[in-house]
Structure 1
């Protein structure tokens, strides 16, 4: 398998990133390599908890609130995107950021050099998104002609396709926490089936209201102590995070023929549902095992080819042990030829919810670029509900290490609270371009 790819493998030819304290891949790598956590107490200009009547209704329940936030989400060059000030004010920041990130991803792919809107390129557009918190803002002001197109989720893709004149599929996908990786899988499937020869895909999650904090807090999802602590004994829930990212996808053969940069290669991806899970919001290991095996078969790979798993790893006492058990069943083993590293970006930048999958993929793309394994932030001791990892040659990196294997291949795993699982395998390409990163 070394260096090989299936005939129909898909290349990642363009990348853009917007995560807390990381506006590009280089900034993301610096954050990862240093083992930095971006957790902070909520920003009251973004989450006005003190002014919320609903937050004050329960005097006995006054938790401390935390988050991971992107700077400058209120900034937008509306003229550049052929809009106007009034329309921009009614436009969800998620739409604005997707416009910016899609431009950056297309630019890194070299697509914009030849793009002519009137050609109606058959490009697919797939975005994972869930919350529409900005309606809290627009509903507090008089209605405008731009409110609907600015806040209805369908326009997250619709506006992008309209802006570039694309005629391929345009779909917004909501499977909760797995939305963005399901969207990326949908883009891959669209290319494989011939619906479109190229696609942009990713996800977005921008916190702009109080109500989901209140609901998720009451349900016990959120950590009362701060950041996500994946796989750790101290895991006590997740910490919400802003996040967004877009990637450009096209067949590897075509990308090579076109001389495109290749940030990574996807030989297999898929989704399924944990319909037989123990409860509505808990993942089902057997469904994940079946998913992993089906992707490996499609990619023509062995579990031993995978040397890093970017897990969903939210830092909950229920979810982490179940996810690790599925990873161990497929990828672990005393006879592995190399160690299997395990990590989760949520220890750095929090749980980006509907953008969690693309956040994990961005981390792996940065790792492929730098050929290194970053330390797992905040990790101190293994959750006792997770049996020792050593017998299965699984390790959690505590310091920056070189990624020294014959062929670099990583697994990105993602599942949603509503049961939708998504996974893909991403490998180093036949050539990597650091100048475009």
Structure 2
């Protein structure tokens, strides 16, 4: 691993202990007390939860042994609560399922210094790292070790050889381009007459596209990138408005000599950036594919269905997201202003290029707000369908039974839709 990459992470994920509060998650285990006591010391452990996108949170794990149960209470700020299940503790490892609705399977190894380092993965390729250090550890000196970093990055996975052959040996680290807002990391793979541009959702880096990127690049040129302040791109203090992010993307494509036309594929909140890009550079845009896109009028939809529930949920979301570090927090600040009613200057009501809207149709088994219920999903799909009816010829809507990360849960179906768009016109 090149030293700049490793140095980036050892610096970025130093633990800066935040104000503790708010949320707890209860872990129950069924193994014997003796084994647990040997494996995990009673007391307040310190640690960190981290995603390769750059999202990370400091954590305290309150480990308590009592009777036949091991109880661990995870405290982080403004996030959760999470219930951990299926705990397995041995002298050398700790594993559990974190938040059944996310289906995150976590496996941690106990290192010689009695610090647990591990990885949490979901069935669709999402991943995160987790660190737990025993009571008395200096949180400011903890870092994610190289072994865990490689595991999170997918280095050494069973399919890493194929991934490296298509997306590069150090994916998600790719090439770099110097823009006015700083150095931007991007991965350029494949070839074809129309270039597919992947714009990740709020706070996500380019690795959120891995499965789709790999599939498309076998027959098409595809570029994914880390926006400034995310992933392996340089931080920036410039406001993260759709206008700014659209002009940054255009500057990236021009500085790297990527010719038009472009098919822009955007996830969730980044639909605003894709739409503004089409407004500004429509002559270079073949079309848009918007994956479960957010919309400037969505708050009115949710308020009409459940005003009190929506306001409570939105207040909680803002309370957490506003505290995210770096680019994630700045992106959310701009996004929240739009949802709260701030108009985007120059944004067309509907895209002026052919557009496919892919909407998520699956209902949550444990809905936390109206948008995850059967009623909410139906209203969201109807909202998207009504929006598409006002779009140019060739536009359509596709509903897939999936959660919001449709491109991870249904990559083959999304790839098929994109290839159909590439063959149009």
**TM-score with structure 1 setting the length:** 0.30
**TM-score with structure 2 setting the length:** 0.30
Q: Which has the higher contact order (CA 8 A, sep 6+)?
A: 1
Larger radius of gyration: 2
Considering fraction of residues, name the structure with more strand. 2
